[in-house]
Amino acid sequence: MKLFAIQGLKILATGSAVPDSTLSNHQLSEIVQTSDEWIVTRTGIKERRLLTGSNRSVIDLATEASLKALSKISMSPLEIDLIILATSTPNDLFGSASQIQAKIKAAKAVAFDLTAACSGFVLSFVTAGQFLQSGSYKTILVIGADVLSKWIDWSDRSTCILFGDGAGAIILQSCSIKDNQFLGFQLNTDGRQYKNLSLPYIDDSDPHTFLNIHQGSFNYIAMNGKEIYKFAVSQVPLSIIKCLTSLHMTVDEIDWLLLHQANERILTAIAEKLSLSTDKILVNVGRYGNTSAASIPLVLDESNEYGKISNNDVIVISGFGAGLTWGTVVIRWKR
Ligand code: UT7
């Protein structure tokens, strides 16, 4: 997608947070019939972090990640104009972003949630980009955070082995066009396939006697793993190629491939489809599992901290998941 920008966008800081509690594959094999060998071979996941304890929610992780990002650049939270929280696991169906705004004391910021499951961070980054590049806002905090552990059927071995909890945050600011780091994007949705990965609401009570209103609750994550696998491996490379082509760029110009951390086999298969060396994949799914909207900013923060990414590196970021929704963002890293 061509960007119509009167301003550029620069990345000022990243931060992340994961719960302390670790669940290994061995521990999981005591809950469901599975094995470390099966999980590692099929997914590359060795362990994941889970938010344990009562009254802890996505807010705790998102707040910690945001405060870490702010402290890295000694920025006052009062400088933030907008907070976008990508999450599918809010602690309030009306949204959780406003509670984060209050917790980090970003009193001048507008705050809202954006729900797009594992593509949430990509969609939030693009949304933030529109506000910054049009000149509407100067400084935006984008957070990807999820606690899918609260919505997993822990007796279903086909899903409970995959997911973990976490949060990642990034602070973006408008800048001159010549310093712009957000090169382009490409987004897609196919609602016909929504049933392949969903967390459905189900009417499970008798209707109200007079009003005939049915009420219910949300169920557990339901997934057709094979279909999601095929979808990711076929559609994500196409999105990346479309995005690069629109920018008159080629795969050879990619320094790092930062994909939603769903499954290491999916990441490798996508790189292979692009004829890209697997050395260029940024990966941490082995330690955290699939953290949904958090996975991309979590890897970005780690790679930034470890000094893995260098000045001027081109990073191709792709998210994919429930909706089904998928998309790509291309950025140029500046130190
Ligand atoms: O953000 C996007 C989120 N979703 C994903 O990324 C999911 C993408 N899909 C996948 O990653 C893979 O499809 C899975 C890892 C979920 C499953 O791998 P698979 O190679 O597609 O396995 P499968 O579902 O075809 O199952 C193969 C066998 C079955 O047994 P039978 O029917 O061959 O006897 C399953 O019952 O493996 C069995 N199985 C397990 N065995 C041990 C399924 N889950 C497990 C398990 N441990 N946890």
CATH code of residue 154: 3.40.47.10
Q: Flag whether pLDDT at 5 surpasses 80.
A: no
* Count of C-beta atoms within a 10 Å radius of residue 21: 13
CA of 225 to the centre of ligand 1 (A): 6
CA of 72 to the centre of ligand 1 (A): 40
228 lines ligand 1 (CB under 6 A): yes
290 lines ligand 1 (CB under 6 A): yes
3 found inside a domain:
no
Q: What is the pLDDT of residue 207?
A: 86
Q: What is the pLDDT of residue 41?
A: 97
Distance CA 91, CA 86 (A): 13
* Count of C-beta atoms within a 10 Å radius of residue 220: 17
Residue bearing the CA closest to ligand 1, atom 38: 158
pTM score, two decimals?
0.96
Output DSSP code: residue 311: T
Q: Closest Cα to residue 143, out of 15, 290, 8?
A: 15
Q: What is the pLDDT of residue 168?
A: 98
Out of 179, 195, 225, a domain closes at 179
Average pLDDT, the chain: 96
CA of 119 to the centre of ligand 1 (A): 21
Q: Best substitution site from 30, 259, 263 to test ligand 1's pocket, by max atoms within 8 Å of Cβ?
A: 263
Q: Are residues 167 and 255 in the same domain?
A: no
Q: Are residues 147 and 17 in the same domain?
A: yes
How long, in residues, is the chain?
335
Average of pLDDT values for 132-143?
A: 97
29 lines ligand 1 (CB under 6 A): no
Q: Flag whether pLDDT at 280 surpasses 70.
A: yes
Instruction: Give the residue numbers spanning the domain of 276.
Output: 182-332
pLDDT band, residue 47 (cuts 50/70/90) = very high
Count Cβ neighbours within 10 Å for each residue of 238-260 and write b for 16 or more, e otherwise. Answer: ebbbbbbebbebebeebebbbbb
Distance CA 88, CA 280 (A): 29
Could you tell me if 263 and 295 are in contact, meaning their C-beta atoms sit under 8 angstroms apart? no
Q: Are residues 196 and 207 in the same domain?
A: yes
pLDDT band, residue 335 (cuts 50/70/90) = confident
Q: What is the pLDDT of residue 300?
A: 97
pLDDT band, residue 205 (cuts 50/70/90) = confident
Q: Are residues 25 and 82 in the same domain?
A: yes
Number of domains in the chain: 2
Q: Flag whether pLDDT at 321 surpasses 80.
A: yes
220 lines ligand 1 (CB under 6 A): no
Average of pLDDT values for 132-146?
A: 97
Which is the closest atom of ligand 1 to the Cα of 262?
Answer: 6
Weakest-pLDDT range from 19-28, 203-212, 266-275: 203-212
1 found inside a domain:
no
Q: Flag whether pLDDT at 208 surpasses 80.
A: yes
Could you tell me if 321 and 197 are in contact, meaning their C-beta atoms sit under 8 angstroms apart? yes
Could you tell me if 317 and 293 are in contact, meaning their C-beta atoms sit under 8 angstroms apart? no
Q: Flag whether pLDDT at 1 surpasses 70.
A: no
